[in-house]
Amino acid sequence: MAPDSWVVVGGWGAASTEFSEGLARRMMLHLVKPVFKLFPDDEEYVRIEEDIDNIKGAIVVQSFEKPASRSLVYSILIADALREAGVSNIVLMAPYMAYTRQDRVFLPGEPISVRAVMRALSSSGYKALASIEVHKDYVLRHFNGPTLNMFPFTYMMREAGVSCGEDTIIVAPDIGSLPRVERLARETGCTSYGYLVKERDRVTGEVRLVKSTVDPRGKDAIVVDDIISTGGTIALASQWLLEKGAKSVVVLAAHYLGVGDAEEKMVRAGVSRVITGNTLPRKPSKIVAYVDLTGLAASQLVRLVYSL
Ligand code: R5P
């Protein structure tokens, strides 16, 4: 367990509240619940009303739930309130970290958003940053301090009772997801895996498949991705896999944003089940099932906290 006199601080929003409660329980730490309000002009306000004078450190749980900019502002304000109260060891646990997909300049004139956000978090007082399945590992290098990127898929498969049988094939819906698939295959002993190659129109956001390295005939496919946003990537992959003879398609995605008609799109494309983490607010759904990732986070955060 983490050292005594550390606390968990619950961030703003439904997912952050749920995750902080689970984490505090699992780490057997006191949970501090700040008060969140908006000024009449929608400016964010936060106050930690509890006396936190003698604590050694705080794990702030703030997921980047919608609107991500509000989550960002709250994470900065909470860090400042903690520093003001004399807490020097502050760790940000962001179950879902936004802005990570804009990790380079795709079109002239764009920022590297993830770098800007990491710089803001570093300078606001966070000593360490932990998250779950950040889009690409290397983006964490922009944070000035120790970081932890938790790999949730093996844990999710176990918790959801999904196993790798003789007829299972693990599929990356794009080349970016291949390292996830390789690691998951290694950790589950799954010998059959591969990837698809997609192209995204940078202006319209439309995706299309241009290549594949898998033969899904007669297989139960498990498609693995970091995030489902509009569902376009998964729908495309599922449709292709079923057309090429896959028996079924189950999806493992660390984060589920489920924007617009994402669920209908995936159902239409033949996806039978989506397993995701509780990193973003839960949405009622016929095919999406949530796995509680606080157990995974608690076991990995202990090491980070001790290293400070
Ligand atoms: C992209 O590189 C990501 O790994 C996801 O595949 C993508 O962001 C999913 O977005 P959507 O659901 O809108 O296709």
Query: 146-155, 192-201, 242-251: which range is least confident on average?
Result: 192-201
Per-residue model confidence as pLDDT tens digits over 58-114:
999 999 999 999 999 999 999 999 999 999 999 999 999 999 999 999 999 999 999
pLDDT of 2 reads: 47
The set of protein residues with a Cβ atom below 6 angstroms from ligand 1 is: 101, 174, 176-177, 207, 225-233
- Residues in Cβ contact with 308 at an 8 Å cutoff, skipping those fewer than 6 apart: 57, 89, 91, 127, 128, 146
Q: Which atom of ligand 1 is nearest to the CA of 262?
A: 12
Q: How far is the CA of 206 from the centre of ligand 1 (A)?
A: 11
When pLDDT is cut at 50, 70 and 90, the band that residue 201 belongs to is confident
When pLDDT is cut at 50, 70 and 90, the band that residue 30 belongs to is very high
Q: How far is the CA of 227 from the centre of ligand 1 (A)?
A: 6
Q: Which of 101, 178, 196, 227 to mutate to test the pocket of ligand 1 (most atoms within 8 A of CB)?
A: 227
Question: Does 196 have pLDDT greater than 70?
Answer: yes
pLDDT of 4 reads: 60
Q: How far is the CA of 24 from the centre of ligand 1 (A)?
A: 31
Q: Residue 243: is it exposed, middle or buried by C-beta count within 10 angstroms (0-12/13-18/19+)? A: exposed
Distance of alpha carbon 214 from alpha carbon 68, whole angstroms: 36
Name which residue sits closest to atom 2 of ligand 1, judged by CA.
Answer: 176
Give the residue numbers marked as catalytic: 198
Question: How many Å is the maximal CA-CA distance in the chain?
Answer: 62
C-alpha distances in Å from residue 261, one per residue of 253, 270, 297: 17, 15, 30
